[in-house]
Amino acid sequence: MSKTNIAVLGAQWGDEGKGKIVDLLTPNFSAVARYQGGHNAGHTVYADGTKFVLHLIPSGILHPGVTCVIGNGVVVDPLALFKEIDELARMGIAVDGRLLVSEKAHMILPYHRELDVLSEARRGERKIGTTSRGIGPAYEDKVGRRGIRICDLLGDRAALQQEVRENVSARNRIIKESTLDWKPLLEQLISSGERMRPWVADVSLFLARTMQAGKAVMFEGAQATLLDIDHGTYPFVTSSNASVGGVCTGLGVPPRAIGGVLGVAKAYTTRVGEGPLPTELSGELADRLREGGQEYGASTGRPRRCGWFDAVVVRYSARINGLDALALTKLDVLDGLPEVRLCTGYRTPNGTLSEFPADLRALAAAEPIYETLPGWSRSTKGATRLEGLPPAARRYIDRLEEASGVPCAIISTGSDRGETIVRPGSIVESWFT
């Protein structure tokens, strides 16, 4: 068994196929730990032909014997968690004894969903494009130091009652016409706490002991670097640190525990929601990528915006996260295109940009500088060896690696576990031997 703990996270704007990669690598680990986000994430995993969509529970749950951890950096909607657990049970997967939820994780309360919808409506045309699941308002309450944590449900009842009353009256002040009653909410929280009790743990302690015992842990990111609250395209971002820093704060593990960082990137670019996207395509080509890649949100069904691979973005991601390697997904979606392009820099009114800008106005004004390469007509779908790829596809990967500054250790050629190339001699192999 591997002793290297690695982080697997999104190198673009999310939906890169992290679920498949985490699922693929899980047999090398004894625990998989989610460090941020909420049930707005949607990981789709195909295991032996069966489709599983996971929102909150790490994709490692599909492997017997692997412990799945939900960290303190995650915000938990207990009802969404129960729904996911019940659905997994219906599909023959039991979580008991294998699921741990941090006692320090904050709760998403029913009115956080309402506040989410309200805040988006107030922004009008400047809306963020959230999934309206209350994730942002739950993080706001956490940072505002009025959040309710899971340990609060299991502790002193009088203190919990006071917290719930104060929270509900604050919310009633924000939503003028609202007269929410705190009593049913308190009851709901208490019963949720009872159902969660067997899973609630000090996950930092669990992970420290696991690692001390020489067992390996995989840290699983949700969303992605360009959606990170600090390093993403603010304000069109998620409310947590999806980049590697979130591992330490969201799980209570020290930086030296992270032995490797694998960035997951698509062979092109997509994003769901609002905000500038320099390589965005429109028309037939965009439709072709959207249909070919089934680019519709796993959580909301929203069509994703599609564009060419942006090496400026992935270079930036590599710097922020210290990426050791990329898992390049969905190469097969580019099959049959007469030519493929990748963006290596941006042209702006003030000159050429080779680094990703912080100012969204600069990003919106950026014109991609493209390199055009020949496409390939032979299918890459299901390829398991580099030699099985058409020469033009290999040239594209080589150029993409050079422009991004990160080697592709894994190349995914389809949604199933088996449709994968693991490059011989890559760092990923060294992590598992």
Residues recognised as catalytic: 15, 43
Task: Please tell me whether residue 412 binds ligand GDP under the rule CB under 6 A.
Answer: yes
Binds ligand GDP (CB under 6 A): choice among 2, 36, 44, 321 = 44
Site stretch for ligand GDP (CB under 6 A), options 105-113, 144-152, 246-254, 410-418: 410-418
Task: Please tell me whether residue 39 binds ligand GDP under the rule CB under 6 A.
Answer: no
Q: Report the 3 state secondary structure along the chain.
A: CCCCCEEEEECCCCCCCHHHHHHHHHHHCCEEEECCECCCCCEEEEECCEEEEECCCCHHHHCCCCEEEECCCEEECHHHHHHHHHHHHHCCCCCCCCEEEECCCEECCHHHHHHHHHHHHHHHHHCCCCCCCCHHHHHHHHHCCCCCEHHHHHCCHHHHHHHHHHHHHHHHHHCCCCCCCHHHHHHHHHHHHHHHHHHEECHHHHHHHHHHCCCCEEEECCCCHHHCCCCCCCCCCCCCCCCCHHHHHHHCCCHHHCCEEEEEEECCEEECCCCCCCCECCHHHHHHHHHHCCCECCCCCCECEEECEEHHHHHHHHHHHCCCEEEEECHHHHCCCCEEEEEEEEEECCEEECCCCCCHHHHHHCEEEEEEEECCCCCCCCCCCHHHCCHHHHHHHHHHHHHHCCCEEEEECCCECCCEEECCCCHHHHHCC
Residues numbered 238-297 forming contacts with ligand GDP, rule: CB under 6 A: 293
What is the C-alpha to C-alpha distance for residues 110 and 78, in angstroms, rounded to an integer? Answer: 10
Residue with tokens 């299918």: 379
| Shortest Cβ 403–ligand GDP spacing (Å) | 20
Site stretch for ligand GDP (CB under 6 A), options 41-49, 127-135, 244-252, 348-356: 41-49
Of 127 and 302, the one with the shorter C-beta distance to ligand GDP is 302
| Shortest Cβ 209–ligand GDP spacing (Å) | 29
Task: Please tell me whether residue 18 binds ligand GDP under the rule CB under 6 A.
Answer: yes
Of 18 and 315, the one with the shorter C-beta distance to ligand GDP is 18
Residues in a beta bridge with 76: 107
Site stretch for ligand GDP (CB under 6 A), options 8-16, 32-40, 100-108, 246-254: 8-16
Task: Please tell me whether residue 60 binds ligand GDP under the rule CB under 6 A.
Answer: no
| Shortest Cβ 143–ligand GDP spacing (Å) | 25
Q: Are 409 and 337 in contact (CB under 8 A)?
A: no
Token digits of residue 131: 């999934």
Residue 66's CB is within 10 A of a number of other CB atoms, namely 18
Task: Please tell me whether residue 103 binds ligand GDP under the rule CB under 6 A.
Answer: no
Binds ligand GDP (CB under 6 A): choice among 39, 43, 113, 305 = 43
Site stretch for ligand GDP (CB under 6 A), options 37-45, 336-344, 365-373, 401-409: 37-45
Task: Please tell me whether residue 17 binds ligand GDP under the rule CB under 6 A.
Answer: yes
Number of residues binding to ligand GDP, judged by CB under 6 A: 21
| Shortest Cβ 334–ligand GDP spacing (Å) | 10
Residues numbered 414-433 forming contacts with ligand GDP, rule: CB under 6 A: 414-415
Site stretch for ligand GDP (CB under 6 A), options 39-47, 143-151, 275-283, 347-355: 39-47
Residues numbered 287-326 forming contacts with ligand GDP, rule: CB under 6 A: 293, 298
Task: Please tell me whether residue 332 binds ligand GDP under the rule CB under 6 A.
Answer: yes
Binds ligand GDP (CB under 6 A): choice among 28, 46, 104, 296 = 46
Of 251 and 333, the one with the shorter C-beta distance to ligand GDP is 333
Of 298 and 386, the one with the shorter C-beta distance to ligand GDP is 298
Question: Which residues of this chain interact with ligand GDP, rule CB under 6 A?
Answer: 10, 15-20, 42-44, 46, 293, 298, 329-330, 332-333, 412-415
